Structure 1
Amino acid sequence: MADAEPAIHSARSDSDRKTPAPAAAAATVDADEGSRKSLRKRLMLGIGGLVLVTSLGYGGYYAAVGSHYVSTDNAYVGADSASITPMTGGQVLRVAVSDTQAVKKGDVLVQIDDSDARIALAQAEADLARATRQFGQTAATSDALAAQVQAREADIARARAQVIAAQADFEKSRIDLARRQKLAPNGAVSGEELTSATNAFQAARANLELAKAGLAQATSTRVAASGQLAANEALVRGTNANTAPEVLAARAKVEQAKLDLARTVIRAPFDGVVTRRAVQVGQRVAPGAQLMLIVPLNQLYVDANFKEGQLTRVKVGQPVTLTSDLYGSGVEYHGRVVGFSGGTGSSFALIPAQNATGNWIKVVQRLPVRVALDPKELQAHPLRVGLSMDAEIDTSAK
């Protein structure tokens, strides 16, 4: 028993030495807390420094590069499509294309029945031949009228000679009558002879008046013939069978008939793709009716709708980089600003917004900017009208 007690005492002494004092434990806790605060402080300083460096870097990038670009994803592909309409009416004999079909410039799209056009052309050609022949007749009539004028001159000369002869007979009969009238009181001239002389005088005077009337008529006839000649000469003077007005008018009708005949075959105005075909074989179409649309895929453009605050430094001619949702960001298109719309999209809406109200809220407006695309890039990666695009303009370029 005496040996056991010292052993227990020795064990307790060892245990008391291994257990720290309360003051030492508190000191250890304070040291750990300070270490954690120091670590947190350094971490916060590091994060703050990283944010500061990032902000300075972004600010420098924006000042040097980013501020020179404006971008929008509100952009869409457009094109000046051709509306195919007939210039002449008739029944459709053949439709050579279908929707989505690619066509080349000059390809036949639609053929209209040309029977009426051919008949009209034949009639116009006949009218031209008639007009040419009539001009020849008019030119020949001038020679005939000139001969008639010469004949009227001869008639006038003959009428004058007749007047002279009648005048001479009149003078002779007047003298004979006056002589017999002087001798009649003396009985030297019988009553019958005096009557005969009086009758002869009256006949001579009538013949003189008749001759003068004939001269007047011949003169009038010559004047009429000269007028007809002048009128006919006015029709042919300075012209020939190719330049006569009637011939030119008839030739114009022939050309119009040929044009109408050619227009019965409708061809593609340029390379493109057929869309919205609305014509069928056997259908009777009228001039101006829309048959289909041709979209020129190598002449597309983009209308990018930028916010009004983004357009401060945007100018015509600045380069534009674009990407399409169709191909993704891996395919870039390059274009240039070619113009600005005359108004915002809302101003040309079917029902424009009316801002003159009491409860008004300002809405940022967008202005369409037209961007021309590179035809070579379009050929390599074709687009379609209406596709979405992302556009970025370099405003630093002049």
Structure 2
Amino acid sequence: MSEPLTPRETNTARRRGLTAVAAAVVLAGIAWGGWHWANGRHVETTDNAYVAGNVVQITPQTGGTVVAIGADDTDYVKAGQLLVQLDPADARVALEQAEAQLAQTVREVRTLYANNATLRAQVSLRSADLARAQADAARAQDDVNRRTPLTQSGAVGKEEFQHATAQLTAAKSTVAAAQSAVLAAQEQLAASLTQTEGTSIEQHPSVQRAAARVREAYLAVQRARLVAPLSGHIAKRGVQVGQRVQAGAPLMTLVALDNLWVDANFKESQLQKLRIGQSAELEADVYGTKVTYKGTVTGLGAGTGAAFALLPAQNATGNWIKVVQRVPVRIALDPAQLAEHPLRVGLSMEVKVDTTDQTGKTLADTQRTAPVAATTVFDAQFKAADDEVAQVIAANLGRKTAATRVQ
């Protein structure tokens, strides 16, 4: 058996153990301090971060009865794909009425232009009558002038002179009547020209007004088809076949999962070193540490989350307890990584931002030149409406295509 340690030896062993532990703690502290000085102090972290994206509510522009549903929850749809079909019967009837009104208006305006030619002919005819009356008056005046000296000598009888004078008076009355007829014909032509002058049949205001009604009715027919404004996945479908929906009622939600970002809510004490353009590393709870996303800070919020809450805090009433506020910081994700490892809106993220680069700004000061989001799926509807108007006008002009397309 080994001899028991003496108290002195026990104390020595204890001191050596404590010294080793203390040395290990000191070394760990030095290592942590070195890491913090080199890297840790340049990193701001938060686990109060969530995936965000464009969540588009699909709402009808006109009311109607749902007759078909083209997409369900979790389905992927492309821009322009049919989502919901409303009953277009009423809209088609309105379109037919508007087209008939446009056709009638075009023919009425054509009549106005045709009347101009008739009125011009009337002016020419009245002018010819005036010239003939003036010639007759001049001849009657010559007869009176020749008979006046002969009357004094008795070569021409008084009765004959009075007859010539009466003919002159009648001729002058005829001239006055012809002048009035010419003036009336000119006024009628001027009045008619006020309705047609400076424009063509296709651009006439009455035709334009009727064409606008056709466009409105045509778009109502097209808007009975609710299409996807962008590509994405369907969520929260609540519409059912046979349901009567009103304009603006939410039917389903479309989420573009290929264009997501992260809203990281940092404490107000962490904002001092955060700058736009700084790099970030992100981990999603759904993938754990197996996947690390690369991101970039694209902007800092203009206020705290509490300031924009539905019921903002009323710090001036009652007992006050200070609560550390958080400010949302938007972080853009790498599209390639996002395509390889898809995320969902609302997933939790852990964010680490490298604040070493302090050259960026805390607030954006450049004006955006391009739209945040845009769609072209509705442009075809307006073009089709214009084509429909042009076709109706051309058919009632008596030729295949309208000379001037209605804008």
For normalisation by structure 1, the TM-score amounts to: 0.78
**What's the counterpart of residue 256 of structure 2?**
296
Letter in structure 1 aligned against 2:128 = A
Larger radius of gyration: 1
Compared CA separation, residues 121 and 153, structure 1 to 2 (3 A): same
- 5+ long unaligned stretches in structure 2: 360-407
The answer to whether residue 7 in structure 2 is matched with residue 47 in structure 1 is: no
Identity %: 45
1:248 Cα deviation (Å)?
3.9
Deviation at 1:124, TM superposition (A): 3.1
Query: What is the alpha-carbon distance in structure 1 between the residues aligned to residue 339 and residue 252 of structure 2?
Result: 23
Work out whether 1:101 is the aligned partner of 2:61.
no
Measure how far apart 1:151 and its partner are: 0.8
Structure 1 equivalent of residue 135 of structure 2: 161
Deviation at 1:381, TM superposition (A): 2.6
Name which of 309, 314, 317 aligns with 2:269: 309
Q: 2:59, 2:184 → 1: CA distance?
A: 57
In structure 1, which of residues 61, 64, 87 is the aligned counterpart of residue 35 of structure 2? Answer: 61
1:299-322 deviation digits (Å, cap 9, x = unpaired): 122211100111111111222221
Deviations for 1:192-213, whole angstroms, at most 9, x for unmatched residues? x9xx95x984x77666554433
In structure 1, the partner of 2:85 is: 111
How do residues 1-398 of structure 1 correspond to structure 2 at under 5 angstroms? Answer: 32-164=6-138, 167=141, 197=159, 201=162, 208-357=168-317, 359-397=319-357
Q: SS at 1:216's partner residue? A: helix
For residues 263-285 of structure 1, the C-alpha deviation after alignment (integer angstroms, 9 at most, x for no partner) is 11111122222222222212222
Displacement of 1:57 after TM fit? 0.9
Shift of 1:152: 0.9
What is the alpha-carbon distance in structure 2 between the residues aligned to residue 236 and residue 358 of structure 1?
75
CA deviation vs aligned residue, 1:352-393 (integer Å, no higher than 9, x gap): 112235743322110011122223333333222222111111
Measure the CA separation in 1 of the matches of 2:60 and 2:165: 82
Secondary structure class of the residue paired with 1:347: coil
Deviations 1:70-122 (A, max 9, x none): 11111112222111111222221111222333322222111111122222333
Structure-2 change in CA distance of 1:136 and 1:378 (3 Å)? same
The gaps in structure 1 that reach 5 residues or longer are: 1-27, 181-192
Determine the C-alpha separation between the residues in 2 that align with 1:379 and 1:302: 15
Amino acid at match of 1:154: A
Q: What's the offset of the Cα at 1:394?
A: 1.3
TM-score, normalised to structure 2's length?
0.77
Give the 3-state SS of the residue equivalent to 2:6 in structure 1. Answer: helix
Change (3 A) 1:92 1:210: farther
In proportion to residue count, which structure has more helix? 1
Mapped to 2, the partners of 1:205 and 1:89 lie a distance apart of 83
Q: In 2, Cα distance between the equivalents of 1:290 and 1:361?
A: 40
2:244 is aligned with what amino acid? R
